[in-house]
A and B are shown apart, each in its own frame.
Chain A
């Protein structure tokens, strides 16, 4: 390490000490400062990771996938550096490495596990030269921040082009925008995907982003869909089709918001597992994590044990008890994620207590147009009042009005909305809170004040 790196590292450590002394979390500011002092610090610190780094990216499921993988790796007694708080820009990764490093830059953990923002992936790949990259899916998301999906995909292609077979690229075989990345890189490739023929959609949902073949721009044909544009696809023109998945799931039984039974296969070897997660999208997250574990050489019993020990994260369907009621929140940030959350919550066709919080701060995306790509019409036959809040609560209320849902209570103030929504929830019932990103942080703060949730950096 040269002087610049030493200064950056130790100043970073000092800032972490200060922020913690004042009761804060220190998940990104120290890394931001260290990066300004030494722009190479991410490369320099990560070369000290004996077993390399695993990067996880994609529009939806980064946090859950990395937490499932973390559970598997820890169960197998591997020591890892992990940006658990979800701070996933380079500053977040650097902060985590600074925390793990000694003042001379040594890191005792063998392996880093980083969830990485989609648009930041190229920068991180160039700096770290990762051992494994997991790409889960690509959907439209906060178009004012990220741009259209083609723009993100092009960034990924440019980043992957320079990697060789020492890196393994783990790709979702069912997402044409992701599966096709394999064609343009020299990395080792592993595919994961669903092979269940029961939990399918015959018709494309509205918010579909990949009806054109990413290889030749002809119209793709789909036999069926799992989620949005993920499914069994083929291109009649250039013959590109859903690749064979080495890691797959079949015989899926969905039991509602927090329970699923499935068989997971690594090639032909399968095991049955009960997951404390609901929804098809969480099967994808599980498969992505299993694929990375397989790639690191872990055994099936180790993987299964890790999956059994997994606990859900806040804002990702974690269940919290508040007096004689329960609260579960699920982050909503784009149409596909929101649609899948509704599909999951209402799969049992029973009434639910709902609180929807839509903010439009920069981290949420300033544009709320995407609410009109969410199929709220599916809720119109339910009778319970829906509570709405957030900086754009009026837009949310208007969206519901045009889905013929008028039994809506709205409050600009989040704390008030939360109190009212909890008040309306009956004993032993669950209030499902669907917040955008900054609304989720705010909600968490409210719960932390009541001593009901850890602050996000403590989790």
Chain B
């Protein structure tokens, strides 16, 4: 068994430690003797057909503008098709914003997004910074813990349309826009959210959920071996209960 990860704009969108998500997926696969191959997909490089799971992290404003142009010109069509055929994708912060319809800055033109998630983002006044805890959308997972923990740091306010569900409900923190208590979004197997931290190390069951989704396209009867998650969950609970 082999998992092929497509790491979108790995060099430009890597500011907030989000690479930890790749490390976590790769390591949790390695512990189960699943091979992992990480393909970095940069500017001007086309979307490949052999990817099981895409990852797209957060970056600086200028990088985000450059990536947006490239996303539309060289990758959008193939990514839309991949999403429609149930390929798994994880998008964090800037990557999440760029998968919506558009990002509207304080001044200047809208930055076009891939439009895979029915959502849009508007530049806000105050930055939303701090530890965040969310209750995962019940339709998604029935595992314990049902919470996700992370650290958010964004000024964009994201609002969801009708064709996308939120990833969860904010217990502590600001979430998508600081107004409607939603956080993140998903459509088919495309999951976006504002949680740095990074997301997956402290939310190991969500990491496995993504790995399983990605690999079950290759083998329907496939299931993941259990791992010892005690340190992961202890850290999860520390953030949940103390910060």
Contact = CB atoms under 8 A, between A and B. Distances in A.
A212 B232 contact: no
A312 interface: no
A399 interface: yes
Given A211-B12, A398-B231, A399-B201, A217 B62 contact: yes
A402 B24 contact: yes
A219 B43 contact: yes
B38 to A, nearest CB: 12
A353 B238 CA distance: 27
* Size bracket of the A interface: 35 or more
A398 B202 CA distance: 8
B63 A206 contact: no
Interface in A209-255: 209, 211-212, 217, 219
Contacts of B43: 219
B196 A394 contact: no
A369 B16 contact: yes
A147 B20 CA distance: 20
Interface in B52-93: 60-63, 65-66
B156 interface: no
Contacts of B6: none
A150 B153 contact: no
A456 interface: no
Nearest to B21: A372
Contacts of B232: 398
Contact of A369 (B12, B130, B198, B231): B198
B11 interface: yes
A340 interface: no
Main secondary structure, interface of B, reads mixed
B129 A395 contact: no
A59 to B, nearest CB: 14
A149 interface: yes
A373 B17 contact: yes
A369 B151 contact: yes
Contacts of A144: 129-130, 151, 153
Contacts of B164: none
Given A219-B43, A402-B24, A369 B17 contact: yes
Given A212-B12, A394-B235, A402-B201, A372 B23 contact: yes
Contacts of A379: none
B27 A402 contact: yes
A373 B15 CA distance: 9
Interface residues of B, number: 36
Contacts of A217: 62, 65-66
Contacts of B127: 147
Contact of B15 (A209, A371, A398): A209
B157 interface: no
Interface in B125-165: 127, 129-131, 151, 153
B205 to A, nearest CB: 15
B197 interface: yes
A208 B127 CA distance: 24
A28 to B, nearest CB: 24
Which of A206, A212, A360, A397: most chain B CB closer than 10 A? A212
Interface in B221-243: 231-232, 234-235, 238, 243
Nearest to B242: A391
Contact of A150 (B11, B17, B23, B60): B60
Contacts of A37: none
A206 B14 contact: yes
A371 B20 CA distance: 9
B62 A143 contact: no
Contacts of A209: 15, 60
A150 B62 contact: yes
A143 B15 contact: yes
B213 interface: no
B231 A394 contact: yes
Nearest to A369: B17
Nearest to A395: B235
A207 to B, nearest CB: 8
Interface of A: 140, 143-144, 147-150, 204, 206-209, 211-212, 217, 219, 335, 360, 366-373, 394-395, 397-399, 401-404
21 contacts: A143-B15, A148-B60, A150-B62, A208-B14, A212-B66, A217-B62, A366-B129, A366-B151, A367-B151, A367-B153, A369-B151, A369-B197, A372-B23, A373-B14, A394-B235, A398-B201, A398-B232, A401-B231, A402-B24, A403-B23, A404-B27
CB-CB nearest 5 A-B residue pairs: A372-B20, A369-B17, A372-B17, A394-B235, A148-B60
Given A369-B18, A369-B197, A372-B198, 12 more contacts: A212-B12, A217-B62, A360-B243, A367-B129, A371-B17, A372-B18, A372-B23, A372-B201, A373-B17, A398-B201, A398-B202, A402-B24
